[in-house]
Structure 1
Amino acid sequence: MYAEIGHFALIMALFVAVVQGVVPLAAGPMGNRRWMNIAGPASIAQFILIATAFAALTHAFVTSDFSVLNVAKNSHTDKPLLYKISGVWGNHEGSMLLWVLILATFGCAVQVFGRNLPSGLKNRTLAVQSLVTVGFLMFILFTSNPFERLLDVPANGQSLNPLLQDPGLAFHPPFLYLGYVGFSIAYSFAIAALIEGRVDASWARWVRPWTLAAWVFLTVGIALGSWWAYYELGWGGWWFWDPVENASFMPWLAGTALLHSAIVVEKRDALKSWTIFLAIIAFGLSLLGTFLVRSGVLTSVHAFATDPERGVFILILLIIAIGGSFALYAVRGPSLVGGGLFKPVSREGALLFNNWILTTATGVVLLGTLYPLFIDVIDAGKVSVGAPFYNRVFIPIMTPLVILMALGPLMSWKRADAKGILNRMYLVYGATLVAVILTFILKGEEGWGGYFGMGLATWLAVGTLWDVADRIKLGKTPFGQSLKRLARQPRATWGMTIAHLGLAIAIAGMTGAGNWKVEKIQVMNFGDKLDVAGFTYTFEGVRDIRGPNYDALEGTFTVHKDGEFITTLQAEKREYDTGGMPTTEAAIYPMFLGDLYAVVGDKSGDGYVTRLYWNPLIAWLWAGCGLLTLGGLVSLSDRRHRVGAPKRSALANKAIAEGAKA
């Protein structure tokens, strides 16, 4: 019964979405406000219907209703409740239902919180958002029905992929989708602005909080995915440049560029056409990621579907949404002329350079992701593009951006004194030099990448703090006055500072984990000792344990340093009752300077294969990601973002009207 209710709710949602998408856009040229205003109530109705369908599917998973094909394929009575719930989106059909739920949620949120939006812009934005939803609802109903029934009901289900039965993977997809789909609102605002033929500072102020929210969610989603790969896959790394990892990273890069470009539109009424272009690109890359995961062109643990017919459907959606958008952009984009003039050396110039770098980096990742697929399609052999390519190309491209991040906030709008800024940054130069020298003293001749990375991280961190000191005139006015200035700094400024510091700390973490990791793979017998980066691992033995729905081999290691006990590590190798590949649960002991990391593998002779690691500064990477997220949230809490552009008072409107008559 619940499955039928959910299916019917999806069908009704499709009809509501069609009305919401078509009627306001058709009524706009006729100036019929009553019909245009249908978009608001329709967005709420659409959200309620899709939420009802999602609740129905969740009920089927929680109650183990194996008469629903989706539940039978992806659930099991012995699964813990958390994984029964996460099984809702741990498959193709359910994940697409989550996708449209988030689409509807963002549309409903614009209606509820967008009271200061001009009626025409809001209704057109909701209409465009709904047309995107129409495409995905049709995709679900015609090719991926999550409520399909089984005539022969099995006694139990096939369970969820063992790799997905993990807390990190339970929360990773929802956050990732909130980021992916969140960029749809920026896209909808952009298309609505093209239809109206108007982009101004108010538009940028309304777009920024929605883009920032999507960026924050996507940051959390990517960080959770990296964290899961780090402790679950047992290879000691956190990023593999997997094509599906890249599919989430590209919208993040484009979204970061969009955030900074919108600042220039808001503050200086410039880069209008470029900002619209970035909004289309950011969501287009999100759709591209969806195509890669669900078309069958990639084989990955991330891939939900391998049905080419579904891939063709999504490809058609991608072509219509992005191709149509670029066609509209080609017609209307040239008319969006920016009014703010600026010198190359200025804050606008720095933000524009920021955009060039980020879009170039996005293009590099896109090339590295699609090139092997293209070579395979034309049957020209097999090509693998991995870390060596990205390290040699991506890092040099991004380095000037990080250097500029310390300089850009010190620049004034319209025109800046580059020589004066560089002359004032003596403390930043000194701190960077000290960091490089200390790295050389501590690590010796272990590669220039470590010195460079730590120097770059220090440059950005100290440069960011230098900007704060400059804003509050530290050392130029009495200390009490500086504190008062500090307290008066806008939350958006604090958000930028925290995020930039987070990136600096993350760069230090990437440098440590990428340049100084120690890995040892060997067969160990009980009682064997092994030195790893000055830590002595002792293999104490193994035992069989029973989990909620799996059997596991647990290996125990004790770790000492200079004879002093540090910790006990217990790694697992799990075999789930319902089959599937065995999973690895690494044992990790985090410390300020690095992680102790142990993995137990298969039996070999009288011993067991073990992988022992020292991962220096890896905790800094997670801390940096946390600060990036915190910075976005603090900036989002700025009142100027929450209320958008305020409406003019009646007195101001009267003055404008009188001025027009004169």
Structure 2
Amino acid sequence: MTAELGHLTLVLALGVAFVQAIIPLIGAQRRWADWMAVAGPAAVAQFILISFSFAMLTIAFVTSDFSVELVANNSHSAKPMLYKVTGVWGNHEGSLLLWVAILALFGALISVCGGNLPPALKARTLAVQAMVGVAFLLFLLLTSNPFTRLPLPPADGNDLNPLLQDPGLAFHPPFLYLGYVGLSITFSFAIAALIEGRVDAAWARWVRPWALLAWVMLTIGIALGSWWAYYELGWGGWWFWDPVENASFMPWLLAAALLHSAIVVEKRDTLKSWTILLAILAFSFSLIGTFIVRSGVLTSVHAFATDPTRGMFILLILVIAIGGSLTLYAMRADRMKSSTAFALASRESGLVLNNVLLAASCGVVFVGTMWPLFAEALTGDKISVGPPFFNVTFTPFMVALAMILPIGSMIPWKRGKLDRTMRPLWGAMALSVALGAYVWAIQTGGRMLAPIGAVLAAWILLGVVADLWQRAGGAGTNLSVKLRRLRGLPRADWGKAISHSGLGVMIWGVVALTGWQSEDIRAIAVGESFELSGYTFRLDSVERIEGPNYISDYGTITVFQQGAELTTLHPEKRFYPVQGMPTTEAGISSGAFRDLYVSLGDIQDDGRWAMWTWVKPFANWIWAGAIIMSLGGFMSLSDRRYRVGLASARKPRTPSAGVPAE
């Protein structure tokens, strides 16, 4: 009965979404307050219905109801409970249900938390949000029904993809979707503003927290996915420029640009047309990511490659959503013009350059990701675009972004003087260059990647310190006054400082790992040892053990440094009989300044074991940087200005039913 209830509530949610998409939009156009008021309750009702449907599917997975086709194809009675629950979204249909549930969640949040929004803007925003919901609910019900029953249920299920049976990937999709789908709200705000024909500082203040929340969730989701790929795939890398990785990275870049652009709209009432375009493009790239993951046009280790019918349905949604929004933008963009002027040396110019670099880097990733598809369509040739292309084309934009970041953070609004802005930064620049020279010296020459990365990372971190120093009063202020001023800074300013620091930490982790890691690939017998970067690795044993739903070759490797035992690693080679699929569980000893990483391969004909070994300097700084950036985002979200809205905002009068609003 759970499957039937879940399906019924999805159908009801579709009906509510239709009402939410039509009635409030008409009400906003005709200024009918009672019609506009339908939007809020409808958004909440839609969320409740979809949440109930999602709960019914979760119950089916937890109770191993193999009469439901989706459960039979993606679960097993011997699977640990954590993966029974996360198996709900470890497939196309279940993850799509999670997608629409989060879409409805954001609509409900606008309904509950948007009390200070003008009624017309709120009604239009929720109507646009419902239109997106209608499209994906139709997609779910017509092509991807998660509640289909089997006439003859099997005795047990086919199990979940073994690669997905991991804590990191269990929580990766919900966070990623909170970011992906969260950008739908900024999209809805943008379309509502285009329909209304008005964008101002108040609009930017309302949009920024939602864009920031989506960006933070995307940051966490991408970091979890990167961490999973690092230790689960056994390849030793943290980023592979995989199409699915790129699908989440592109909207992250545009969301970051949107955040900075919205600041200009809020503070200076300019860049309005560009900010609207970014809000449209950010969600459009989320939709493109959905197409990449679910259409099967591009292959990936963690994509939902499905039949062409589903791909065509998503493509239709893409054409309508992106084409329609850009057409509306072309018709209304001239109304978003601003007469506010600013000098070339100003914070506005710095944020414009920031936006250009982020948008251009997104364009590079898009071309590299989609070029194999375009090339095959045009020439019939199958080609691949790998890390060398992305490293060469993407890196210069990030280097330029890091170089301008401290200056752009400190230069005044409207009109500034570059020499005055640089005064507190010259010391930071000198220390950064000195640190880069030191790094080059200790590595005794060689590649310039780590020294350049050290300069950029230090420049960003010391730039944050210089900015806070100036905000506290500079050299002529005593310590107690400095501390009082720092305590009095808005949380949004602290959030900015923390997030920028996280970027500096991440840059150093990336360049140190890339430039200094050492690698060894060999076949080794039990009892043998070898040296790598000052460490001795000895394979002590490989035992056959049984897990709850897998069989594992469980390795034991002792690591020595300067003759003293340092740690023991346990890499595994697992085999899942139900799926008939092997997986690799790396053995990793993590530290603040290095990771020792061992991946166990197959046994060879002579009884030796294939083994991949890496010494990875500063690997954890990559994910530490992502965590710090996310914490900075949460700090900004806690700023009371985001919680209470504009100080001057007053509750609008509510006209009587049928009477036009003023």
Query: Which TM-score applies when normalising by structure 1?
Result: 0.97
Mapping 1:513-592, distance limit 5 Å: 513-592=513-592
Match of 2:620 in 1: 619
Equivalent pair of 2:116/2:650 in contact (CA under 8 Å): no
**Cα offset for 1:80?**
0.4
The aligned residue for residue 106 of structure 2 is: 106
Q: How far is the alpha carbon of 1:426 from its aligned partner?
A: 2.3
Give the C-alpha shift of residue 548 in structure 1. Answer: 1.3
Q: Deviations over 1:487-512 (max 9, x none)?
A: 00110000000000000000000001
Partner of 1:656: none
Deviation at 1:644, TM superposition (A): 1.9
Instruction: Give runs of aligned pairs for residues 277-426 of structure 1, distance below 5 A.
Output: 277-426=277-426
**Equivalent residues in 2 for 1:486-505, closer than 5 Å:** 486-505=486-505
For the residues of structure 1 that align with 2:274 and 2:431, how far apart are their CA atoms?
Answer: 37
**AA of the residue aligned to 2:520:** K
AA partner of residue 123 (structure 2): N
Contact 1:116/1:646, CA 8 A, preserved across alignment? no
Give the corresponding residue for 2:122: 122
Q: 2:611 aligns to what?
A: 610
Structure-2 separation of matches of 1:308 and 1:649 = 51
Distance (whole Å) between structure 1 residues aligned to residue 353 and residue 482 of structure 2: 31
Q: What is aligned with 1:448? A: 448
SS in 1 for 2:320: helix
| In structure 2, C-alpha distance between the alignment counterparts of 1:173 and 1:613, rounded to whole Å | 28
Tell me the residue number matched to 2:630.
629
Q: CA deviation at 1:564?
A: 1.8
Cα shift at 1:528: 1.2
User: Who is 1:506 aligned against?
Assistant: 506
Matches of 1:23 and 1:128 in 2, distance apart? 11
Equivalent position amino acid for 2:383 in 1: V
Q: Deviations over 1:35-94 (max 9, x none)?
A: 111001100110110001000000000000000000000000000011001110000000
**Separation (CA, whole Å) in 1 of partners of 2:635 and 2:61:** 36
Q: Residues 87, 44 of structure 1: CA spacing in aligned structure 2 closer, same or farther, 3 A cutoff? A: same
Establish whether residue 244 from structure 1 lines up as the match of residue 247 from structure 2.
no
Query: What are the superposed Cα offsets for residues 430-482 of structure 1, whole Å, 9 maximum, x if unpaired?
Result: 21122112211221223011111111111111111111111102322111111
Q: What is the Cα deviation at residue 648 of structure 1?
A: 4.2
| Contact 1:268/1:339 (<8 A) preserved | no
User: Tell me, which stretches of 5 or more residues in structure 1 are unaligned?
Assistant: 652-662
In 2, Cα distance between the equivalents of 1:98 and 1:650? 34
Equivalent-residue separation in structure 2 for 1:494 and 1:208 (angstroms): 16
1:609-653 alpha-carbon deviations (Å, 9 max, x no partner): 0111101111111110110110000011101111222454699xx
Q: Deviations over 1:324-344 (max 9, x none)?
A: 001110111111112421111
- In the alignment, what sits opposite 2:657? none
**Cα displacement string for residues 550-569 of structure 1 (whole angstroms, at most 9, x for unaligned residues):** 11001111111111221000
CA distance in 2 between partners of 1:161 and 1:85 (Å): 14
- Cross-structure match for 1:31: 31
Q: How does 1:258-277 map to 2 (within 5 A)?
A: 258-277=258-277
Range that drifts further, 184-193 or 604-613: 604-613
With 421-430 and 97-106 compared, the bigger mean Cα shift is at 421-430
Note the 1:203-242 alignment, pairs <5 A: 203-242=203-242
CA distance in 1 between partners of 2:303 and 2:409 (Å): 41
Cα deviation, 1:270-301, whole Å, max 9, x if unaligned, reads 00000000000000000000001111102222
Q: Distance in 2 between matches of 1:102 and 1:512?
A: 37
SS in 1 for 2:88: coil
Q: Which residue identity does 1:176 align to in structure 2?
A: L
Work out the CA distance in 2 between the residues paired with 1:273 and 1:355. Answer: 13
The whole-number CA distance in structure 2 between the counterparts of 1:395 and 1:104 is 37
**AA matched with 1:21:** A
Q: 2: distance between equivalents of 1:38 and 1:570?
A: 58
Contact map agreement 1:116 1:647 (CA 8 A) in 2? no
Q: How far apart are residue 382 of structure 1 and its match?
A: 2.1
State the one-letter code of the partner of 1:623: A
The 3-state SS of whatever aligns with 1:14 is: helix
Aligned partners of 2:649 and 2:163: how far apart in 1? 55
C-alpha separation in 1, matches of 2:556 and 2:514: 27
Large movers: runs of 4+ above 3 Å: 646-651
In 1, the alpha carbon distance for the partners of 2:619 and 2:362 equals 25
Distance 1:20 1:159 in 2: 39
| 1:508 maps to amino acid | W
1:15 aligns with 2:51: no
Listed one character per residue, the Cα deviations across residues 498-546 of structure 1 (whole Å, up to 9, x for unaligned) are: 0000000000000011111111000011121111111111111111111
CA deviations 1:141-191 (Å, max 9, x no partner) are 100000000000100000100000000110001111110000000000000
Distance 1:279 1:426 in 2: 36
Q: Please list, as runs of the form range in 1=range in 2, the aligned pairs for 1:145-224 lying within 5 A after superposition.
A: 145-224=145-224
- The 8 Å contact of residues 17 and 42 in structure 2, kept in 1 or not, is answered as yes
Amino acid at match of 2:565: F
Letter of the 1:609 counterpart = A
Q: Does the 8 Å CA contact 2:215/2:252 hold for their aligned counterparts?
A: yes
Question: What are the ranges of 5 or more consecutive residues in structure 2 without an aligned counterpart?
Answer: 653-662
Other structure's SS at 2:156 match: coil
Q: Which deviates more from structure 2 when the two are superposed, residues 377-386 or residues 56-65?
A: 377-386
**SS in structure 1 at match of 2:588:** strand
Most deviating of 443-452 and 137-146: 443-452
CA distance in 2, matches of 1:351, 1:413: 10
Residue equivalent to 2:473: 473
SS of the residue corresponding to residue 446 of structure 2 reads coil
Conserved? CA contact 2:299–2:305, under 8 Å: no
**1:420: Cα distance to partner?**
1.8
Describe the shift of the 1:389–1:84 C-alpha distance in structure 2 as closer, same or farther (beyond 3 A).
same
Report the 3-state secondary structure (helix = DSSP H, G, I; strand = E; otherwise coil) of the residue aligned with 2:566: strand
- Kept in 1: contact 2:126–2:188 (CA 8 A): yes
- Aligned residue identity for 1:195: I
Cα distance in 2 for partners of 1:69, 1:379 equals 40
Contact 1:505 1:624 in 2 (8 A): yes
* Equivalent residue letter for 2:608: G
Mapped to 2, the partners of 1:118 and 1:387 lie a distance apart of: 47
Residue by residue, what CA displacement relative to the aligned partner does 1:565-598 show, whole Å, maximum 9, x if unpaired?
2100011110113133200000111112110011
SS at match of 1:494: helix
- Summarize the alignment of residues 53-72 of structure 1 with structure 2, pairs less than 5 Å apart: 53-72=53-72
Tell me the distance in 2 between the aligned counterparts of 1:650 and 1:252.
Answer: 34
Distance 2:70 2:340 in 1: 55
Aligned to 1:660: none
Instruction: Output the amino acid matched with 1:581.
Output: M
Task: For residues 220-261 of structure 1, give each alpha carbon's deviation from its aligned partner in whole angstroms, at most 9, with x where no partner exists.
Answer: 000000000000011110000011110100000000000000
1:480 partner letter: S
Q: Please tell me the root mean square deviation across aligned C-alpha atoms, in Å.
A: 1.2
Question: What does 1:420-435 align with in structure 2 at a 5 Å threshold?
Answer: 420-435=420-435
Summarize the Cα distance change of 1:241–1:70 in structure 2 as closer, same or farther, 3 Å threshold.
same
Q: How many residues align?
A: 651
